[in-house]
């Protein structure tokens, strides 16, 4: 966060969390606070500001990133997206576990429709709209990757996606 704060970032969009238990609320929240769709709008409202969105891989994948990157490219709205990729759509998993604590999903080793494996190359989605995409697997490379992503946005005036792989140890 210090890296971002040192650059005078005024707005920081992040997935507000998926703490809603009824599944219907989770889907309603995902539609209302869709980060990929709202980020170009935020940049349009503040063209002189650096806009950064952070979200999980499930939120990114199911949040219409293709249309968001298209709009950003069409209207010259460069922004940085950092995806925290744990190969799960845990919004659905948590909601399912909360609603059905003794159900099949909880009692199985794999929750259907929540595991995003094998993980798509999400960093490539932005390249369809001439953006910069990078996959980061080594935590030691994160700082340098952030610098490259920020350069793409601030110097090259391109949107950028960093797909940060978050594996549990």
| Other C-beta atoms lying within 10 Å of the C-beta of residue 120 | 15
Confidence of residue 5 (pLDDT cuts 50, 70, 90): low
pLDDT > 90: percent of the chain? 38
The whole-number pLDDT of residue 89 equals 82
* Cα gap 128→74, rounded to integer Å: 12
3-state class (DSSP) for residue 159: coil
Residue with tokens 């946005």: 153
pLDDT at 25 over 70: no
Of 131 and 91, the structure prediction assigns the larger pLDDT to 131
The answer to whether the peptide bond before residue 111 is cis (omega within 30 degrees of 0) is no
Whole-angstrom CA distances from 79 to 6, 33, 52, 159 are 17, 17, 6, 5
pLDDT at 82 over 60: yes
In the numeric block, which tokens belong to residue 97?
Answer: 């576990």
User: Considering the chain, what is the average pLDDT of its residues?
Assistant: 80
Domains defined for the chain, CATH in brackets: 2-165 (3.40.50.970)
* Cα gap 39→78, rounded to integer Å: 10
* Cα gap 33→112, rounded to integer Å: 24
Closest to 21 measured CA to CA, from 101, 77, 80, 104? 101
Q: What is the pTM of this model?
A: 0.76
Residue 54 sits at the vertex; the CA angle it makes with 49 and 57, to the nearest 5 degrees, is 145
């Amino acid at each position: 966060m210090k890296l971002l704060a040192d650059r005078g970032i005024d707005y920081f969009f992040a997935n507000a969390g998926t703490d809603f238990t009824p599944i219907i609320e989770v889907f309603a929240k995902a539609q209302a606070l869709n980060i990929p769709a709202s980020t170009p709008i935020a940049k349009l409202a503040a063209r002189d500001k650096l806009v950064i969105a952070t979200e999980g891989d499930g939120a990114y994948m199911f949040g219409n990133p293709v249309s968001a990157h298209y709009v950003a490219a069409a209207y010259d709205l460069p922004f940085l997206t950092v995806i925290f990729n744990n190969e799960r759509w845990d919004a659905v998993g948590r909601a399912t576990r909360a609603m059905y604590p003794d159900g099949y999903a909880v009692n199985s080793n794999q929750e259907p429709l929540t595991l995003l494996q094998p993980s798509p190359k999400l960093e490539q989605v932005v390249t369809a709209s001439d953006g910069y995409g990078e996959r980061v697997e080594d935590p030691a490379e994160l700082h340098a990757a952030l610098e490259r992503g920020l350069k793409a946005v601030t110097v090259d005036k391109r949107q950028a996606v960093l797909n940060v792989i978050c594996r549990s140890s």
